[in-house]
Amino acid sequence: MKILVPVKRVIDPYVNIRVRSDETGVETENVKMSMNPFCEIAVEEAIRLKEAGKAEEIIAVSIGNQSCQETIRTALAMGADRGIHVLTEEKIEPISIAKILSKICEQESPGLVISGKQAIDGDNNQTGQMLAALTDMPQGTFASKIEIDSDKVKVTREIDGGLQTVSLNMPAIITTDLRLNEPRYASLPNIMKAKKKPIDQKSPEDYGIDVTPRVNVLKVIEPPKREAGIKVENISELVEKLKNEAGVI
């Protein structure tokens, strides 16, 4: 079985986000970039399934500019076998990403696609579900546990208020939540080895997909700043303020 893992390059989660003063977006020049944390979890899960003998090959896919090659290399260094880079300079939306991935699914016939539940830049939380729709595959979103049992996969999902378990016919799409696993760091020898692993370069046109945006970002602004309030001396003053001033208890 093949596992396809889409990976996204995003601003590193530990970087302070700066909104551009011209309100066109968030500053990405000279900012540290990393693999989206939920995608790291997806790569890790694919590797664990391969280590457990449930999968033979892991293909990491990234869609975006030339630098996305680095993100694919990271996945290869963690343990993915080969990469597909779909090169585009467009700001590409989840629906277009899902369409490109659906074409890759047609060509590669993966038994599972494991993706992050959302990227921490756009916070859309859409691509996996959309890919499942376009390929008519079942979806196990927000997964905290995955068990393959012959031609089905049992997915434990993080839902509001607890956990839900579903059984999906394979091929299936799974999106990862935080508790699924703790991603490994790539070792230096593996980083060296990853440099020799193949990355196929493609374009959206190769898949016949029009990636023209449908959603136009009119402006991006900073959220209203919170002012620091006051310091209280002790608990009784705190409780008094919460009761009488803020009226929240």
Partner 1 sequence: MTTLFFIEHVNGQVSDQSLKAISATSQIDGDVHGLIVGSDIDSVVAEASKIEGLSKLMHLDDGSFNNILAENLTQLILNISGDYEYFLAAATTTGKNVMPRLAAKLDVSQISEIIAIEGPDTFIRTIYAGNAIATVQTSDPKKVLTVRPTAFKSALIGSSGCEITKINAENMPSISEFIGEELTKSDRPELTSAKTIISGGRGMQNGENFELLDKVAEKLGAAVGASRAAVDAGFVPNDYQVGQTGKVVAPELYIAVGISGAIQHLAGMKDSKVIVAINKDEEAPIFDVADYGLVADLFQVLPELEQAL
Binding span for partner 1 by CB under 8 A among 12-20, 42-50, 63-71, 77-85: 12-20
CB 16 → partner 1: shortest distance, Å? Answer: 6
Q: Is residue 130 close enough to count as binding partner 1 by CB under 8 A?
A: yes
212, two tokens:
């023209």
Going by C-beta distance under 8 Å and a sequence separation of 6 or more, which residues neighbour residue 238? Answer: 232
Binding span for partner 1 by CB under 8 A among 45-53, 70-78, 121-129, 201-209: 121-129
Binding span for partner 1 by CB under 8 A among 53-61, 64-72, 91-99, 190-198: 91-99
CB 38 → partner 1: shortest distance, Å? Answer: 8
CB 93 → partner 1: shortest distance, Å? Answer: 6
Q: Is residue 31 close enough to count as binding partner 1 by CB under 8 A?
A: no
Q: Is residue 33 close enough to count as binding partner 1 by CB under 8 A?
A: no
Residue 128 and residue 168: Cα distance in Å, rounded?
14
* Helix residue ranges, H only, 30-150: 37-51, 68-78, 94-108, 127-135
CB 72 within 8 A of CB 18: no
- Identify which of residues 192 and 239 has a Cβ nearer to partner 1 in the complex: 239
Residue 73 and residue 90: Cα distance in Å, rounded?
21
Binding span for partner 1 by CB under 8 A among 1-9, 103-111, 157-165, 203-211: 157-165
Residue closest to 52 by CA, chosen among 127, 194, 153: 153
Residue 217 and residue 91: Cα distance in Å, rounded?
10
- Identify which of residues 164 and 187 has a Cβ nearer to partner 1 in the complex: 164
